[in-house]
């Protein structure tokens, strides 16, 4: 038996294919879970100023607006407060004093919900804006990130609200089945033990909610990267996740576990550091000033740790979701050559 001559004959192997180009945080080829997580941390590390800056401004402005609304509400009902809280023990507040307080509280709560939803939508839009550039090796200034995120905020907010409305379907289904089951048990006098049947009902409905949540997980990223509207983004996310539900679910689950672990560990460390002065064994504070001097720094450290953990929780899972979206398009739509050409054109243009 003879073997072909030449560089790839017997005993010789063809050279390995060249590595995929990597203009940014990921190689332009299908990604593994480890590469997705590494790229998420790399993006956060390289662009943390823009990401944290947008989150700080969005949530900071939101807190200021909520504080202003609370102040206006307090001034509006200040005359009614004594009629509710400064009464004798055997007296009940009148409806004329209680109703304005309920209305003011409801208005402040509504303002807080709207403001926080808008702030969360801005942060959720900023992540794909930064990630889109990070994949191509680019970097954006804070003002550019904020402007693009604010421009796509309505679409992202629409995806969040529509996803929440969709998630109400399994909730309403569970409530309807539960009410019907309870009514049936009461009619048949089945006894308290029959309430155990509610658990199988929950097991049937909960997977539906989880399935819908994963199907729409790419919608905020689509709204930014593909500049789609809310409904179109939901349809696009549904289409992309089809055939890759378990892979998407696994990536999102790992991101949630990592986020929870890092946030809890960070808060635990700061809480331990903040409690050191209390364990010093020094003389007990006697005056109000000494108490405040001891307590205020501890409270500030704990609050700062909680805020940092919340910001990380708001940024890291969307980064992983965005990278899962890019990976899915590379696998399904051969996006890698398009990204490579875009990176080359950008490098040539610069």
What is the chain's pLDDT, residue by residue, as a tens digit (350 residues)? 555 555 555 555 667 778 888 999 999 999 999 999 999 999 999 999 999 999 999 998 988 998 899 888 888 877 767 766 666 666 666 777 678 888 888 898 999 999 999 999 999 999 999 999 999 998 899 999 999 999 999 999 999 999 988 877 777 776 666 666 666 666 665 555 555 556 666 667 778 888 999 999 999 999 999 999 999 999 999 999 999 999 999 999 999 999 999 888 877 777 776 666 555 555 555 545 555 566 666 667 667 777 788 888 899 999 999 999 999 999 999 999 999 998 888 777 65
Instruction: Please name which of 321, 326, 331 lies closest in space to residue 258, comparing C-alpha atoms.
Output: 321
Instruction: Determine the Cα–Cα distance for residues 100 and 73; give it in Å rounded to an integer.
Output: 10
List of residues 6+ apart from 347 with CB closer than 8 A:
23, 137
Domain range annotation of the chain: 33-277+285-349
Kindly tell me the burial class for residue 16, based on how many C-beta atoms sit within 10 Å of its own C-beta (0-12, 13-18, 19 or more).
exposed
pTM confidence score: 0.81
> Between the CA atoms of 272, 278, 282 and 287, what dihedral angle is there, to the nearest 10 degrees?
150
List C-alpha distances in Å: 36 to 236, 317, 326: 21, 11, 10
Structure confidence at residue 223 (pLDDT): 97
Contact 326, 135 (CB under 8 A): yes
The alpha carbon of 298 is separated from its chain's Cα centroid by a whole number of angstroms, namely 28
Kindly tell me the burial class for residue 240, based on how many C-beta atoms sit within 10 Å of its own C-beta (0-12, 13-18, 19 or more).
buried
Structure confidence at residue 239 (pLDDT): 96
Phi then psi for 7, rounded to 5 degrees? Answer: -65, -20
Structure confidence at residue 248 (pLDDT): 97
Structure confidence at residue 152 (pLDDT): 96
Structure confidence at residue 150 (pLDDT): 96
Contact 174, 202 (CB under 8 A): yes
Instruction: Please name which of 327, 328, 320 lies closest in space to residue 259, comparing C-alpha atoms.
Output: 320
Q: What is the DSSP string of 196-238?
A: GGHHHHHHHHHHHHHHHHHHTTTHHHHHHHS---HHHHHHHHH
Contact 142, 54 (CB under 8 A): yes
Beta-strand (E) ranges in the chain? none
First CA to last CA distance, the chain: 57
List of residues 6+ apart from 206 with CB closer than 8 A:
170, 174
Structure confidence at residue 275 (pLDDT): 66
Structure confidence at residue 53 (pLDDT): 94
Structure confidence at residue 225 (pLDDT): 96
Contact 160, 222 (CB under 8 A): no
Measured from the Cβ of residue 258, the count of other Cβ atoms closer than 10 Å reads 16
């Amino acid at each position: 038996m003879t073997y072909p001559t030449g560089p790839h004959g017997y005993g010789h192997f063809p050279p390995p294919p060249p590595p995929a180009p990597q203009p940014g945080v990921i190689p332009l080829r299908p990604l593994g879970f480890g590469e997705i997580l590494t790229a998420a941390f790399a993006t956060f590390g390289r662009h943390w100023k823009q990401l944290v800056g947008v989150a700080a401004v969005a949530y900071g402005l939101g807190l200021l607006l909520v504080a202003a609304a609370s102040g206006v509400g307090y001034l509006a009902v200040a005359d009614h407060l004594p009629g509710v809280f400064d009464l004798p023990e055997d007296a009940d507040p009148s409806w004329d004093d209680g109703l304005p307080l309920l209305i003011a509280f409801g208005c402040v709560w509504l303002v807080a919900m709207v403001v926080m939803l808008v702030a969360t939508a801005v942060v959720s839009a900023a992540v794909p804006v930064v990630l889109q550039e990070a994949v191509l090796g680019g970097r954006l200034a804070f003002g550019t990130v904020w402007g693009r995120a604010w421009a796509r905020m309505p679409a992202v907010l629409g995806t969040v609200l529509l996803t929440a409305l969709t998630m109400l379907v399994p909730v309403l289904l569970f409530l309807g089945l539960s009410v019907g089951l309870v009514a049936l048990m009461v009619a048949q006098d089945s006894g308290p033990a029959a309430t155990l049947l509610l658990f199988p009902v929950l097991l049937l409905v909960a997977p539906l909610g989880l399935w819908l949540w994963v199907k729409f997980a790419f919608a905020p990223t689509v709204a930014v990267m593909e500049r789609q509207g809310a409904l179109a983004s939901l349809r696009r996310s549904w289409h992309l996740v089809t055939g890759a539900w378990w892979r998407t679910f696994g990536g999102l689950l790992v991101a949630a576990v990592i986020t929870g672990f890092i946030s809890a560990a960070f808060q635990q460390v700061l809480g331990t550091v903040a409690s050191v002065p209390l364990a010093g064994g020094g003389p007990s504070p006697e005056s109000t000033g000494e108490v405040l001097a001891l307590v205020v720094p501890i409270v500030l450290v704990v609050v700062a740790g909680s805020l940092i953990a919340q910001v990380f929780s708001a940024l890291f899972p969307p980064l992983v979701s965005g990278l899962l979206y890019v990976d899915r398009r590379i696998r399904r739509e051969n996006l890698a050559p398009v990204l490579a050409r875009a990176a080359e054109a950008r490098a040539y243009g610069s």
